[in-house]
Structure 1
Amino acid sequence: MAGNVKVFMLMAALTALVMALGWMLGGSGGALIALLIAGGMNFFSYWNSDKMVLRQQGAIELSPRQGAELYAMTKRLADRAQMPMPKLYLLPTEQPNAFATGRNPENAAVAVTQGLLNHLSADEIEGVIAHELAHIHHRDTLTMTITATMAGAIAMMGNMMLFAGGRDGRGGALGGIIAMILAPMAAMMVQMAISRARGSAQRRAPI
């Protein structure tokens, strides 16, 4: 719970930063527009980020018949964690990797690469799948998506300030540079909070 509160506070700080940059660009009206833009981007990401990521990676959805052993393993781990079975996807690349995506456990997906299946043992693959299910179980996937979106919004406004300058001389090149420095730092701070929250949660997780 404490970890979740910290993540929420950092997300609120990101929102405040977006509004502050909007104010530097256009005063109170700019702050309101920045908030609306960030909200719209987050709304779009909430519903579509998983589909976009999987499509960009060329992921192929696996049916219970196509990925029988992997499907059975994932189903067993999901049942043990008392969470819905996520969709399974295969990425046609030899680099060993896996990731989870989705806005909630009911609309989640786990993607693994062909290289991971080729180079890892069954026990190692099970450990990777359990790790990705823990991300889904604790809704890290949604938080990471929103974080990336907010960081993108901050970077976008930084570019606007760098090339267009702010209202009444506010912002400009200095504001743009500050925004571009703060965007990755803000994302890193939220990721650190997520990792700490996940670490304590996984010690109690049923997976």
Structure 2
Amino acid sequence: MKRAAVVDFYHRLAEADPHPVTELEYRNPFTLVVAVALSAQATDVSVNKATRALFETVDTPEAMVALGEEGLKAHIKTIGLYNAKAKNVIALSQMLIDDFGSQVPATREALERLPGVGRKTANVVLNVAFGAETFAVDTHIFRVCNRTGLAPGKTPLAVELKLDKATPAPFRQHAHHWLILHGRYVCKARRPECWRCIVADLCAFKPKTPPPAAPARAAA
């Protein structure tokens, strides 16, 4: 996608949603780290359902460690891979206490030291909690960037680096959320809804999907 088209692409998404936010529910940087870690291979809806009551009383590393692995499992057992995730959340909580004064660090390198926190999770936390211009490439963003031609790449890291290079200054902080929401609700995996896409004319995807056929009217 040429630079003028990239600017137009982001401009339209920004006009439609000037202040995009994460759909994960959280109370502070710690609960954000936990929520994002739990969201791997799970939907935001399922994570929110599991953590809504949890975060009312467990919103610090100390409280999470006190809850313990089995106690956490009782809250998140509806989320995929909950056993491994519970182990990681307790371990990362303990590391925050031991190594970071119970504060969530504001660098990618430090965040990636935490158990269960990879580059994508670190990028989300940096962007949402600290306002950093990072690009967290999940399956939605990977698909949108390749399908549209905005930032094609064979791996999430390749797409991230291309996004970083291609995204102009006015749009950098919110680019991640515009792209993930566009992928989640419009540029869907199985059948993108091209007929209602506000950037369809800028997109390299072909053939564009037509609107669903109207149901046949019953004979009188």
**TM-score, normalised by the number of residues in structure 1:** 0.31
Q: From the two aligned structures, give the one with the greater strand fraction.
A: 1
Q: From the two aligned structures, give the one with the greater helix fraction.
A: 1
**TM-score, normalised by the number of residues in structure 2:** 0.30
